[in-house]
Amino acid sequence: MIAITILLTALISLVLGAAPAKLARRRVRQCDLGWAAGLWLATWVFALCAYHRPGLTVGFDAFRLAAITALCGWASFCVAGLRSFGGRGLRFVVPLLLAAALGSEVFVGNVTYFNTHSYQPFQLLDYLDPNVNVIRGQGSISLDEDHTYMRFLDIDQPIYNLSMDGLTNDDTDPLHWDSFFNFRINATDEANSRLNYFGTWQIAPESTRSQVISLDLTGNVGTMELTASGYSTAFAAFPVAVTFTGITANAPRPLQFSLLRCIAVFLALLAIYALRPQSGLWHRRWLAGNVCDRAAGAVLAAILAAFVVVVPFWEPGNTGLATENYNVAFWDHESKISFVYEQYGALAHSLLNGRLDLMQDPPEELLALDNPYDSTAREAAQVNSLWDHAYYNGRYYVYFGIVPCLLFQLPFEAVTGIQNLAYPPCMIVMGLLFLLASFGAVHQVVRRWFSQASSAAYLLSVAAIVLGSQLYYLFVRPYIYEYAIVCGTSLLMLALWFWLSAANTAVEHRGALLAKLALGSLCMALVAGCRPQMELFAVLALPIFWQRYIAQKRLRSRAGAGEAAAFLLPVVLVAAGLMWYNYARFGSPVDFGANYNLTGNDMTKRGFNVVRIGPAVFTSLFDLPRLKSVFPFLQETEVTTNAVIRTIGEPFVGGMLAATPFTWVLGLLALPQTRQSLRRRPGAAGFVWLAVAGMVIITVVDCEMAGVLYRYLMDYSPVLLLGAVLCWLLLESVLARRAAAGETLAVTLLPVLRVAMAAAVAWSAVYRFFTLFATQPWLQGLNPSLYFNVARLVQFWM
């Protein structure tokens, strides 16, 4: 009977594998049959390995045969279908990719369902040591900080997984409704006669996927111990406070279909298909305006924008729009961290009342200190001062740039009368503008220097800028630091977009030209009121406008003088306003007040020290990402140095250049051929070299002024990535032209370039996604249900 069933399984798999070719009225090719037969044999070998469990039924029952038959048929259908219809357009391929994604979710994403189907469950609490001190209820067990230990004796049977039953959270703190705790697992088995540590089980009551864990114990288990512990960091702390009705061992896992994971797999497969070297996206010019190419751009924009809108609210404390005292449920106004939400709201309230300082008096203890910027003196005197505020002449000020406040908090309070507009919605607006500017700037780059650039190269370039920068990292922690940086970098990209568009605008369209020049300069000038060091990139106006106004001497004409006035007037007006604002507060037009910051070190005496530069440059640019084998697969590292010096830093997950392969193309600048090709486009060459120089200068400036912090990479990363885009587009244009001329080497290298570009962007997407879960403020503690659900969706085998 089994032999007949196996034969039927093989025939079904082969027929399904060959079906697409037959439907296409093509001869069933031997390679398709070979694929189907090979997949069929491979899945049977997999089944023998995956379903074999000592002590369990090993026979090939009907369920296993049905599952293997379906798996073989699905795999054969997808492979043969893609081979037959892969070149016939999306209307044929999309259904096949959808089938592949659905099958992947069912058979791969739910491998634990098939693997545990024949498990024989039993209740572990039946073996609970009666002498263990736990809180016993009516049909339930409770654990708290004083009752964390459970021991199970004389189990004497295999255990392949554990599943919590009826788990509820007993913590009454409203901030802890979503929490998690750890179980340390020790056990004896046939390979360990004494208790041995096997691992830690992290459980979130709001995440059902985390409430089951697979184990790898040898043979029969004798004794098992579970010891619960809470979680504590600077951002969140959860005690042990749970109740459960049971712990099932060897629980058959249910089939859990994840629509989100299925969509993600489908989009990934669609991207792989659309970006293969033979794809039409690589062979059509972006400027040709093909409808399909524009549709692909719209899909990319929608995906990137969706993350901009969603990511800020991954931390529950960021929900809401505004209240008189924003998010008092999460911030009690006594914690030092409260300032990250309220400074701009307080500044707006002061400005509306005709004051430049904050309407809060410093404590007398702070006024009495000889050096109020000495953090050790403040701590010794137990001064309750406002953290990270500027303190000058006995008053508090906001040293962060005023422009974000003028754009959002000030008009909001002026119109509604409500203080403290939350930062996340403001950052979302600026983040969407950043996306728009990225699409626009790359489009103008293509128009200006690389008119033959393919649609695929354009779309990958935009994705590289957005994903390679720290945009989403800043959104996962929308505090005042990140808010100011996002506003600055969005205005910077808008400025470059307007300037590039102005350079591409014919002089005959004078009205549009003047408007773009003025808008670009206005945005660039406003950058100084958000993040002053980014203003360095105003020098990019030189390579953008050099050809028209210097080389062609248009600046000497009357029309050129008018355009220069449109270019300079916004800069003069904004600079005058910022200089007056600085002078009125600190007595100097160029003093933004950062040195008067009440923080962990005395900024007034920080000075310049060359010793800081080496560790800062290495960590910020060249430090390799540390990978690990468990979600989120990235490990934070601290800034290290042998120098006995105060190093201000926060953890990194890789330097800008080391962790972003898309920027490695800049290494080709060392080749004479690359420099020669760039010289034919002097504007592009100047842009690339200035972008690289800006990266180095800002890295040094940031480390000397403030420290080595991961978010500071956003000060230069979008412009650096735009410079890398120019190099990628240059390579594509050169190789495409030579391949069209029949050069053998170019024909060989062009597909390699296309795959490399797509792979670099794919790495940025994966790396950036895992960065959101690996870095401070650690979503593991701020949103445990999200963290563990995503962790289990990624680690589907757990």
341-351 residue pLDDT tens: 678 988 999 99
The pTM for the full model equals 0.90
155 closest CA partner among 186, 124, 131: 124
Residue 280 in this model has a pLDDT that exceeds 80:
yes
Specify whether the CB–CB gap between 50 and 118 falls below 8 A. Answer: no
Q: What pLDDT does residue 527 have?
A: 97
632 closest CA partner among 759, 780, 478: 780
Residue 526 or 177, more confident:
526
Residue 253 in this model has a pLDDT that exceeds 50:
yes
Residue 31 or 460, more confident:
460
> CA 471, 475, 479, 482: dihedral to nearest 10 degrees?
0
Q: Mean pLDDT across the stretch 83-98? A: 76
Q: What pLDDT does residue 108 have?
A: 84
Q: What pLDDT does residue 39 have?
A: 55
Name the percent of the chain lying above pLDDT 90: 56
Q: Mean pLDDT across the stretch 660-676? A: 89
Q: What pLDDT does residue 173 have?
A: 83
Q: Can you say how many angstroms the Cα of residue 319 is from the centroid of all Cα atoms in its chain? A: 19
Q: What pLDDT does residue 385 have?
A: 83
Q: What pLDDT does residue 608 have?
A: 81
Residue 370 or 66, more confident:
370
Q: What pLDDT does residue 378 have?
A: 86
Q: What pLDDT does residue 478 have?
A: 86
Residue 75 or 533, more confident:
533
Starting at the edge strand that comes first in sequence, how are the strands of the sheet with 192-203 ordered?
149-152, 224-229, 181-189, 192-203
* Res. 320 pLDDT band, cuts 50 70 90: low
* Res. 716 pLDDT band, cuts 50 70 90: very high
* Res. 773 pLDDT band, cuts 50 70 90: very high
Distance between CA atoms of residues 541 and 535, nearest Å: 12
Specify whether the CB–CB gap between 419 and 252 falls below 8 A. Answer: no
Name the average pLDDT for the chain: 86
Of the listed ranges 5-14, 151-160, 250-259, 713-722, the one predicted with least confidence: 5-14
Starting at the edge strand that comes first in sequence, how are the strands of the sheet with 168-169 ordered?
135-137, 140-143, 242-244, 168-169
Name the percent of the chain lying above pLDDT 70: 86
Provide CB contacts within 8 A for 744, sequence distance 6+: none
Q: What pLDDT does residue 37 have?
A: 55
Q: What pLDDT does residue 545 have?
A: 94
Q: What pLDDT does residue 779 have?
A: 87
Distance between CA atoms of residues 218 and 595, nearest Å: 61
Of the listed ranges 205-214, 604-613, 711-720, the one predicted with least confidence: 604-613
Specify whether the CB–CB gap between 555 and 561 falls below 8 A. Answer: yes
Distances (CA, A) of 425 to 306, 343, 490, 530: 13, 16, 14, 17
